[in-house]
């Protein structure tokens, strides 16, 4: 699911998003709560009409922002108090208010409000300022609570908050409420959370609190343990992940749904995903390169004629580099289109590979995804 945090997949018209093969997009409750506000969106017909997207929409609850914006919020047993990133005013989110806001926004899938604890990884803390802020806020360290205690508190809160979300859900016949499993990197805590979250009857379940500072090997370990604990006959959603290797490993563990900002965020920063590996188009090596971003790709940037665009040929790497070096908005647009399509091509090929059971062939087509194929292919 491409991420359209504030009601838009940045730089892309809804029809262009659909042309990439995307079927569902993600919006964020916290950001739409701040601006323009759920009352406004509701008056204007809900998020589908508001953003001009005819397909399904999923809204995150704002629970992740309690982690990522740890420097401007405080978490307690009843909810989270934020400082608005727009005007500094105090904003309070509880399970009831987060659910009510999502009811007003009108998405098809809404997420329960959860408590996302920080992971405990020294290397990640050094590399990720969000993690450092979250650890400081929660006083995890030499003189504060230990990490195990923080995980226990977060798990218990998440279960209680899910019960409150379900009780507050005013449009259960129209919107599917998903519960979220937490537990950090502790597999026993993951098992504890999964058992209690799935004991609450819901249309689907998610794995949260992953890719918040862990290396790829840890992500795969957590997901391969947790996904089979979720009901097989209901959607399993891995939140905020990830790179090709992460997606493949999660699919092999039994996950069905994904979202991530990587395709569009990297696209806005001149970084292209390709089946053979990433390309940094600001590099001088591409100054006179006439090739498309990825030969054989069917995205609007690499094959505009396929999409009915009146163009004499593909947009070249040299041209796209020029757009970025000149500060032209078309560069991020074309590269975002390519990246989103790349991930949709990957997922389409995964579906076909599951049917045909040809993982060797898949690995040959997607070498970047091979590290995630440890369950079906020998290491190389």
Same domain, 325 and 187: no
Same domain, 182 and 97: yes
Q: Give the pLDDT confidence of 34-86 residue by residue, as tens digits.
A: 999 999 999 999 999 999 999 999 999 987 776 666 666 788 999 999 888 88
Please tell me the total count of domains within the chain.
2
Same domain, 77 and 155: yes
The answer to the question of residue 114 being in a domain is yes
The answer to the question of residue 112 being in a domain is yes
DSSP letter for each residue of 72-84: GEEE-SS-EEEE-
Minimal CA–CA distance to 240: which of 202, 221, 213? 213
Q: State the Cα–Cα distance between residues 73 and 82, nearest whole angstrom.
A: 4
Same domain, 286 and 361: yes
Domain containing residue 265: 261-380
Full-prediction pTM beyond 0.75?
Answer: yes
The answer to the question of residue 172 being in a domain is yes
Q: Exactly one of 114, 246, 259, 303 is catalytic; which is it?
A: 259
Same domain, 93 and 181: yes
The answer to the question of residue 119 being in a domain is yes
Looking only at the bridges linking them, the beta strands covering 204-207 and 236-238 are: parallel
The answer to the question of residue 123 being in a domain is yes
Same domain, 48 and 173: yes
Same domain, 267 and 351: yes
Contact assessment for residue 223 and residue 190, using Cβ atoms and an 8 Å cutoff: no
Catalytic, 173? Answer no
**Mean pLDDT over each residue of the chain, to the nearest integer:** 93
Same domain, 18 and 149: yes
pLDDT at 142 over 60: no
Q: Which two tokens stand for residue 108?
A: 């098809």
The answer to the question of residue 370 being in a domain is yes
Q: Give the pLDDT confidence of 256-288 residue by residue, as tens digits.
A: 999 999 999 999 999 999 999 999 999 999 999
Q: Exactly one of 60, 138, 246, 303 is catalytic; which is it?
A: 60
Q: State the Cα–Cα distance between residues 345 and 81, nearest whole angstrom.
A: 40
The answer to the question of residue 299 being in a domain is yes
Same domain, 77 and 159: yes
Same domain, 28 and 174: yes
**Final residue in a domain of this structure, among 151, 183, 202:** 202
**Final residue in a domain of this structure, among 202, 223, 238:** 202
- CATH code, domain with 135: 3.20.20.105
Catalytic, 303? Answer no
Q: Give the pLDDT confidence of 179-211 residue by residue, as tens digits.
A: 999 999 999 999 999 999 999 999 999 999 998
Same domain, 174 and 265: no
Looking only at the bridges linking them, the beta strands covering 57-60 and 25-28 are: parallel
The answer to the question of residue 88 being in a domain is yes
Q: State the Cα–Cα distance between residues 166 and 332, nearest whole angstrom.
A: 40
Looking only at the bridges linking them, the beta strands covering 73-75 and 257-258 are: unpaired
Same domain, 36 and 178: yes
């Amino acid at each position: 699911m491409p991420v359209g945090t504030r009601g838009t997949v940045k730089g892309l018209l809804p029809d262009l998003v659909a042309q990439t093969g995307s079927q569902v997009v993600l919006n964020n409750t916290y950001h739409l709560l701040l601006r323009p506000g759920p009352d406004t969106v509701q008056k204007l017909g809900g998020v589908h009409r508001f953003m001009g997207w005819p397909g399904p929409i999923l809204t995150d609850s704002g629970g992740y922002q309690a982690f990522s914006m740890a420097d401007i919020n405080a978490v307690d047993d009843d909810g989270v108090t934020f400082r608005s990133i727009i005007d500094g005013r105090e904003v309070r989110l509880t399970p009831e208010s987060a659910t009510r806001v999502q009811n007003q926004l009108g998405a098809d899938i809404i997420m329960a409000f959860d408590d996302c604890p920080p992971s405990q990884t020294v290397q990640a803390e050094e590399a990720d300022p969000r993690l450092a802020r979250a650890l400081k806020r929660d006083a995890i360290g030499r003189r504060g609570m230990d990490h195990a205690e923080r995980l226990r508190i977060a798990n218990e809160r998440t279960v209680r908050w899910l019960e409150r979300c379900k009780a507050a859900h005013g449009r259960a016949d129209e919107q599917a409420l998903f519960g979220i499993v937490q537990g950090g990197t502790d597999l026993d805590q993951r098992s504890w959370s999964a058992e209690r979250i799935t004991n609450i009857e819901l249309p689907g379940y998610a794995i949260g609190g992953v890719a918040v500072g862990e290396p790829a090997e840890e992500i795969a370990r957590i997901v391969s343990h947790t996904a089979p604990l979720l009901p097989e006959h209901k959607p399993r959603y891995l939140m905020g992940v990830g790179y090709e290797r992460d997606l493949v490993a999660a699919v092999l563990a039994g996950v069905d749904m994904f979202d991530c900002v990587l395709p569009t965020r990297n696209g806005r920063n001149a970084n292209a995903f390709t089946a053979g590996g990433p390309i940094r188009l600001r590099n001088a090596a591409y100054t006179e390169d006439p090739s498309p971003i990825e030969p054989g790709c069917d995205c609007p940037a690499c094959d505009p004629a396929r999409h009915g665009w009146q163009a004499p040929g593909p947009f070249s790497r040299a041209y796209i580099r020029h757009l970025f070096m000149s500060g032209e908005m078309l560069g991020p647009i074309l590269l975002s289109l390519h990246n989103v399509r790349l991930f949709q091509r990957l997922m389409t090929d995964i579906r076909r590979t599951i049917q045909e059971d040809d993982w060797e062939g898949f690995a040959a087509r997607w070498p970047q995804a091979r590290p995630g194929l440890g369950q079906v292919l020998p290491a190389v």
